[in-house]
A and B are shown apart, each in its own frame.
Chain A
């Protein structure tokens, strides 16, 4: 019995990184985990800069926790992980805010003023 999970996470900070890199975390398997609870564990115990959307229903409804798991887009909360497993996580689309936090599609367009501000800030974004 292996009592840990190995998680490879695709990290990207679009403000500074030209391309993404993979970071690996080992999470002890003291209680049962889903992909979402693993992310909570990593954020709380290893890396407060980890980007992922925290406001999720936790029961497979709201689609807020969508991530790519081993190359397939899945709901993180509804995906159980077993002890000893090794998984790769990435963003669910290409519109990455940071790491696994993306702009989920189908929502309203951004207000014009935000676009204006981005143009003003120029190089900073």
Chain B
């Protein structure tokens, strides 16, 4: 089964979520021939499809006083001043226009009774700023997919896994990919490549994300020497279910459940006492990093519930049961009737939750044109870094997919127009086919990828969650390097084509080891606590650390480390 086929295109998009599909549409608008490659199916995989309905846009539909300038100030502050201001400026100024475009594509936004687009207020926002997408992230993907289907010049390759990017000298040249349905390798040759694969939450044990979030795009970018920025910044969502087992790790939207304007429930510890810090203002809940620290404190100091969480209690909500369910239906993504089928009636039972890893703030370093340090290589959405900073407010993940996805498509199409086809590195392609197929060859003392994945997740949860220390991270780093040398070569995948599931799992664990290593290197560099990077040995925010960590893989495989200033806008 040696060899591979080739697909030629101009702009290649890797990923199948909101940023990827929006990038493909924009590249098509830019006149490029486009191929989009996704490891699942569009709308049925990826991180956007499982997102909450919030899309942040300072469009002033609801509150005329709100402006992009106020949103800029909010986002900069809540990101603990670690977000690049050129990117935040673009985000707040373009989010509204992109949202209205989505509506044209077929995405449904919730409108109020007066016909205006409804906006709700989430922590960290000066005004009600979040649009509410009907059908949540899945509804958004269905609408975006509808637009994709209208465009005959975009070829969609579903169930294709990108395995290694190809280069021509310094510039990008395409990618090698595995066709899951046939087990064949395919070379995709392209003038420009847009990475839009989402985050790497799967390296942690307790997450609310889907299992595909294995950081494939992060690893692939690392391997071609892209600058990776603030990788240590992994955002927790404060309220993920710890029980029942079937839905463990599912997030429940605390903004709706606890927000005084909405259901107005309360959060209590295992002893039944409220513990969240008072923000001093009506209608204002603590932002995510503050809230999660308060929750972890209760859990770590032994005041948690039977399953290691704390509780949301909406039993004494001032709203009627009908109003509660109406609000849950509008604001939240978890189908509460299904939770009731599992034996939890939220109007009668408390909901046990704890913080879970939810979003990767760091990633591939981009500028406002979504360019990276590798010519022809662009990144958009969660896989990119330095947009939000050390903390992210609700609704900016989906906004980021549209704003930067559209930009990536536009600028990648422009790059493809102005540059010739790159040369094809046959040696690199051959080596990649051998690497991938090698995982299906018999190993001595074979182990399964799922075993190594679970061990890695436990190791990362113990050392890279909310109680990071230099000693713990160093131990984890050494362990990962040992596993890559000694355990990864033992991983053997069964050849199960059609649908090469275990081979794909194996490629993922190889990526996860590399990403975890880079995340820890970044975590060791940042000797302070800021946002969601919480070190016990450096518990304070250090003004000298108002800078980015950069990790870059050198041609010899070593990780170079440096810092970079945060980009500020001159007034």
Seen from chain A, the residues whose Cβ lies within 8 Å of a Cβ on chain B are 13-15, 31-34, 37, 43-44, 48-64, 77-78, 80, 97-99, 101, 103-104, 106-114, 117, 125
Contacts of B43 in A (CB 8 A): 62, 106-107
Q: Which residue of B lies closest to A52 (CB)?
A: B501
Contacts of A61 in B (CB 8 A): 49-50, 136-138, 333
Q: Is the CB of B50 within 8 A of A98?
A: no
Q: Is the CB of A32 within 8 A of B246?
A: yes
Please name the 9 residue pairs, one residue from A and one from B, whose CB atoms are nearest each other, closest first: A57-B50, A111-B155, A55-B212, A55-B45, A108-B156, A32-B245, A98-B499, A34-B246, A64-B44
Q: Which residue of A lies closest to B497 (CB)?
A: A15
Q: Is the CB of A125 within 8 A of B246?
A: no
In the complex, A37 Cα to B39 Cα: how many Å?
A: 21
In the complex, A61 Cα to B50 Cα: how many Å?
A: 7
What are some 8 contacts across the A-B interface (CB < 8 A)?
Answer: A32-B246, A51-B501, A53-B44, A59-B250, A59-B333, A97-B499, A112-B155, A117-B5
Q: How many A-B residue pairs have CB under 8 A?
A: 145
B156-183 interface code vs A (CB 8 A; 1 in, 0 out): 1111000000000000000000000110
Contacts of B499 in A (CB 8 A): 51, 97-99, 101
Q: Which residue of A lies closest to B333 (CB)?
A: A61
Residue of B156, B247, B499 with highest tally of chain A CB at under 10 A? B499
In the complex, A99 Cα to B249 Cα: how many Å?
A: 27
Contacts of B505 in A (CB 8 A): 54
User: Whole-angstrom distance from the CB of B309 to the nearest CB of chain A?
Assistant: 16
Residue of A48, A57, A61, A103 with highest tally of chain B CB at under 10 A? A57
B411-451 interface code vs A (CB 8 A; 1 in, 0 out): 00000000000000000000000000000000000001010
In the complex, A99 Cα to B448 Cα: how many Å?
A: 21
In the complex, A13 Cα to B497 Cα: how many Å?
A: 8
Seen from chain B, the residues whose Cβ lies within 8 Å of a Cβ on chain A are 5, 7, 35, 39-46, 49-50, 136-138, 145, 148-149, 154-159, 181-182, 210-212, 244-247, 249-250, 333-335, 338, 341-342, 448, 450, 493-494, 496-499, 501-502, 505
Q: Is the CB of A107 within 8 A of B502?
A: no
Q: Is the CB of B498 within 8 A of A108?
A: no
Interface contacts beyond A55-B211, A62-B138, A109-B156: sample of 10 additional A-B pairs, CB < 8 Å, sorted by A: A49-B496, A55-B46, A61-B137, A62-B44, A62-B45, A80-B341, A97-B499, A107-B158, A108-B154, A111-B35
Cβ 8 A contact of B149, one of A34, A50, A108: A108
Q: Is the CB of B246 within 8 A of A98?
A: no
In the complex, A34 Cα to B343 Cα: how many Å?
A: 13
Contacts of B502 in A (CB 8 A): 48-49
Q: Is the CB of A63 within 8 A of B496?
A: no
Contacts of A103 in B (CB 8 A): 41, 158
In the complex, A101 Cα to B158 Cα: how many Å?
A: 13
Q: Which residue of B lies closest to A124 (CB)?
A: B182
